[in-house]
Amino acid sequence: MTRTDNSKLAFVASESEEAASASESLCARYGCVSTAEADVIVALGGDGFMLQTLRENMSAGKPIYGMNRGTVGFLMNEYNEDGLVERIAAADAAKIRPLSMEARTTDGRTVTALAINEVSLFRQSYQAAKLSITVDGHPRMEELICDGILVATPAGSTAYNLSAQGPILPLQARLLALTPVSPFRPRRWHGALLPHTAEVRFDVREIRKRPVNAVADNIEVKSVVSVTVKESPRARVTVLFDASHSWDDRILLEQFRY
């Protein structure tokens, strides 16, 4: 869609007092409509709330412009009430392609979920996880002993993936990051970069002795037997970033932090 100065805005806010106050002030200044009527959705909060807003509006086809009223705001623009309509009209649009997770559990359930940032597997107990990894139907690692492993999108590469020493990916990179968490064996394996079309399957070995949970962003599935992860073929969401501080600029700055 083409954004204009006449775009109808919907303001959604996290539960914090700061975010709620900002929403009330902006709504009074610029007018507001429901998310169903809006041309652009303005999310007020931190990155966690932004992820929630992206998931809730995945199929709406509406761009989302975030302003930081939380503690972490890598996905957010700087909060400023002045010139909001003009900033939105001039913003750069970036399409985010979420991951699709299909997890099978020990009790026979199959759970599906979408993840904007990453799909992660974590050991459930004091015992390290023991996993095998298959990519596009080809076995790539017969045995990985670790605290966990994750598949991250470019949007999620600066989140938990970065904390686990994974690579930072530009938003438009057609890649996924496969990153282990505290690998014990093979100890020197640091993960892999995969094409965005890759389908990754994790099978849990010694399930009873070494139970594993799977997490798609904040959706947790306990006691999984296997987890398949791939880029969703249909789901897309558009995020707006101020032209003065684009996602690419943020990625570049992050890579030179020390």
Q: Which residues are annotated as a binding site?
A: 47-48, 117-118, 147, 155, 158-163
Of the CA atoms within 13 Å of residue 85, those in its CB half-sphere come to 13
DSSP three-state, residue 165: coil
Q: Round to whole Å and give the CA distance between 63 and 74.
A: 17
Strand ranges (DSSP E) for the chain?
Answer: 9-13, 40-45, 64-68, 92-96, 99-105, 110-115, 118-123, 129-135, 138-152, 175-185, 192-195, 200-204, 212-216, 219-221, 224-231, 237-241
Query: Which active-site residues does the annotation give?
Result: 47
Binding residues for NAD(+): 47-48, 117-118, 147, 155, 158-163
Residues 118 and 154 sit within 8 Å (Cβ to Cβ)? no
Comparing CA positions, the residue from 71, 66, 97, 98 lying closest to residue 241 is 66
Tell me which long-range contacts 56-59 makes (C-beta under 8 A, separation of at least 24). Answer: 57/237, 58/98, 58/114, 58/235, 58/236, 58/237, 59/235
Residues 186 and 111 sit within 8 Å (Cβ to Cβ)? no
Residues 220 and 81 sit within 8 Å (Cβ to Cβ)? no
